[in-house]
Amino acid sequence: MELAPLMPNRLANSVLGVGPAVGGVVYAVQADGMLARVAACLAVTGFVVLAVRGYRLGVTCLPTALVVRGYLRTRVIARESITGITDFPAVRWTTRGGRRRWTPLTALMTSAGEVSGMRVQKERALGQLRRWARV
């Protein structure tokens, strides 16, 4: 089961990388020195990765694991180690060594200025996740 925001949300999530990437391209074109252009190209590469990861934010429920794709990393959590799903939203889980952890679900976070249809979709997805995790 794939839990991801609606298309307008996905596009908004990718703006975090697209905006600075465009600025980096403009800077690279206008830069005089080679070092400045190389630095701008490296920054643009990082921002493009951030834009793609922002677009792909989501949660995948596999039979034995939960895959959480965030802006910076993807975490795989074994289903049996999940101890709760918070309203934040975040997944509470325990490592094999017994250490308690939590992983935020950026894709399912809501904000005050969000359109109600998108908020409802995210709340519905959070309910599906709770039923899948059985917590």
Residue 135 has pLDDT above 90, yes or no: no
**Listing from the earlier edge strand, what are the strands of the sheet with 100-104?**
82-86, 90-94, 100-104
Nearest to 9 by CA among 112, 128, 110, 95: 110
pLDDT range class, residue 79, cuts 50, 70, 90: very high
Question: Once rounded to an integer, what is the mean pLDDT over residues 118-129?
Answer: 95
Backbone dihedral angles phi then psi of residue 58, each to the nearest 5 degrees: 170, 180
Distance, CA of 19 to CA of 14 (rounded, Å): 9
CA geometry: angle 36, 42, 43, nearest 5 deg:
85
Distance, CA of 77 to CA of 63 (rounded, Å): 11
| Distance between first and last Cα of the chain | 17
Question: Once rounded to an integer, what is the mean pLDDT over residues 70-92?
Answer: 96
Residue 3 has pLDDT above 90, yes or no: yes
Question: Once rounded to an integer, what is the mean pLDDT over residues 110-116?
Answer: 89
> Who's near 48: CB < 8 A, 6+ residues apart?
17, 21
| Percent of the chain residues topping a pLDDT of 70 | 100
Question: Which tens digits make up the pLDDT trace of 22-53?
Answer: 999 999 999 999 999 999 999 999 999 999 99
Question: Once rounded to an integer, what is the mean pLDDT over residues 89-108?
Answer: 96
Backbone dihedral angles phi then psi of residue 69, each to the nearest 5 degrees: -100, 115
Whole-number pLDDT of residue 112 = 86
